Amino acid sequence: MAITLNNGFNMPIIGLGVWRMEKKAIKDLIISSIKIGFRHFDCAYSLRMHVLFQELTTKNEAEVGEALSEAIESGLVKREDLFITTKLWNTDHGHVVEACKHSLKKLQLDYLDLYLVHFPVSIRHTGIGATGSPLDEDGVLNIETNISLETTWHAMEDLVSMGLVRSIGISNYDIFLTRDCLAYSKIKPAVNQIETHPYFQRESLVKFCQKHGICVTAHTPLGGAEANAKRFGTVSCLDDPILKGIAERYKKTVAQIVLRWGIQRNSVVIPKTSKLERLQENFKVLEFELSKEDMDLIKTVDKNYRTNIQPAKFWGIDLYA
């Protein structure tokens, strides 16, 4: 099951996100997920942050590349059947081509199916392969003022003409930044990857993107669940009594109901899990359908509640203010 992007390429409607995944577990997990039927894998070059005085670093493209290479070389899957996404980190807005080539080398690929601008902000370059989130002397993110998002986007467009990527898109863009991108783009963004789940439905943004042919991908389709609750103290929609009631009626897990809801909104979902049984459960969301009544019921639980990492907590600024 796939969504056709505005450039004609097909994007599997469910994928596996590898952020926060332990490096030693990635290989077995990706191989297992391919055997289950997953063909869509969402990566990010780096995400280094200081959260509550603890550094969180995810930098696992190399491990993903090793797993994909083994899967392809063994004949388990063909490259053309896979959909691989990764992202441009904030420090590399002035070095788009170099950053993309670096990711391709790590992933052991000749091209990417989708390359995203990770956040709508350019910060001080720290060197390709040495990506971080540099703060200035006041403890605030060191933002570059000489690289506009338009400049970054045109460099992203060059990647398409060079054959390095098939589709380009944006991530964590609100309605107004998305509108601006549509205005200055020669190649329209194929995707906007955002946080959205039953507690943070963002109906206006989702509808705006879809109206203009931009596929919405939910990078936090389950609201972060237990991981975000432990790390950031957020409340999980998986504990919501209304969602639990719907799950009981369908004899499904709450997570399956939430993922199915996301799919029936015509959005792509990329849940992250390190457990084989959860992988199997997640893929089975393609096997049932929610009624219109239950889709409408889920609308009522929206709390406009963001559960993913809050930049203000570790960058000294709030990108969403």
Annotated binding site for substrate: 118
H/E element holding 171? Answer: strand 165-171
- Beta-carbon contacts of residue 167 (< 8 Å; ≥ 6 apart): 5, 7, 9, 11, 113, 114, 115, 160, 190, 191
Q: Terminus-to-terminus CA distance in the chain, angstroms? A: 36
The amino acid present at 133, given as its one-letter code, is S
Angle at 171 between CA 167 and CA 177, to 5 degrees: 105
Comparing C-alpha atoms, which of 296, 319, 260 is closest to residue 1? 260
Comparing C-alpha atoms, which of 151, 189, 193 is closest to residue 172? 193
Q: 221 is written with which tokens? A: 């389709």
The whole-angstrom separation of Cα 214 and Cα 6 is 7
> Which residues are known binding-site members?
118
The whole-angstrom separation of Cα 115 and Cα 134 is 23
Q: 293 is written with which tokens? A: 């009544």
193: helix, coil or strand? Answer: strand
